[in-house]
A = this chain, B = another copy of it.
Amino acid sequence: MLEDRDAQFELLICKLSRLQDLDAQDIEALRKLPLEIENVGRLRQLIRERDEPTRCCILLKGFAARHKVVASGARQIVSFHIPGDILDIQHLLLGKADHSVETITSARIGWIPKADLLEVAWQKPNIGKALWRDCLIDASIFREWVLNVGRRDAKSRIAHMLCEFVLRCEAAGLGDRHNFELPMTQTQIGDATGMTPVHVNRMLKVLDTQGAVARDRNRFEVVNWDQLCRIADFDPVYLHSAAA
């Protein structure tokens, strides 16, 4: 079980290494962090809006999303997450959760106490920088999403969401764009792009007919990446090489 534990850390170390060079001591410090592993099912709420979390959660396997709700009950997904992502790093320094986090597939979660992670962040500047930079890239993606739901039409919005997700998955070594499994439902795509599931369906069909993507059951393929990017008005600068 110990080597299994080490294996779980690899994902996190790999992710942080891409954000900032880490030396042996940094990695050692990371490995010493307490990590509680939990396997959970689909649609499991990990953090509820208004909670005051005492630990951070890291996604080790599966997919997750963060969302907020309006008074009428409508949901808005503000980000999707893939293995290696830290799901609520903002709670290191913010008390009350301003949004919820839930899995969209069955998943494996690693829990690290806030206090321990915070301590390491300040003792090991490289780790602090990596975490801080992670927050900043997070924010950059939110900005792009504001633009996406604010100023693109339905087809572009979905195409953009697909481009981003495919690119991040590829970078993390999860399948390739030509043979892909979209983990989210059309309703969830709608919640992420500010649309109804019905219209998501219509637009996916258009992307399919136009030859940008192909769908079969829950398999998904990007047939023409350049075309999809053009439709999406996609420019990966905002990912800040997090997916390069």
Would you call B144 and A68 a contact (CB within 8 A)? Answer: yes
Would you call A98 and B238 a contact (CB within 8 A)? Answer: yes
Known: A71-B233, A146-B145. A132 touches B93 (CB 8 A): yes
Would you call B140 and A94 a contact (CB within 8 A)? Answer: yes
Convert A184-199 into 0s and 1s, putting 1 for each residue whose CB lies closer than 8 angstroms to a CB of B: 0000000001100000
How long is the Cα–Cα vector from A140 to B95 in the complex, in angstroms?
Answer: 12
Interface segment, A6-14, A29-37, A74-82, A174-182? Answer: A74-82
| Residues of A bordering B, CB below 8 Å | 50, 66, 68, 70-72, 74-76, 78, 90, 93-96, 98-99, 122, 125, 128-129, 132-133, 135-140, 142-147, 149-152, 193-194, 233, 237-238, 240
Would you call B147 and A76 a contact (CB within 8 A)? Answer: yes
Please give the count of copies of this chain that the complex contains. Answer: 2
How long is the Cα–Cα vector from A68 to B93 in the complex, in angstroms?
Answer: 28
> Secondary structure at chain A's binding surface: helix, strand, loop or mixed?
helix
| Interface residue from B68, B71, B98, B147 paired with A70 (Cβ < 8 Å) | B147
| Interface residue from B151, B152, B233, B237 paired with A98 (Cβ < 8 Å) | B237
| Interface residue from B149, B194, B240 paired with A96 (Cβ < 8 Å) | B240
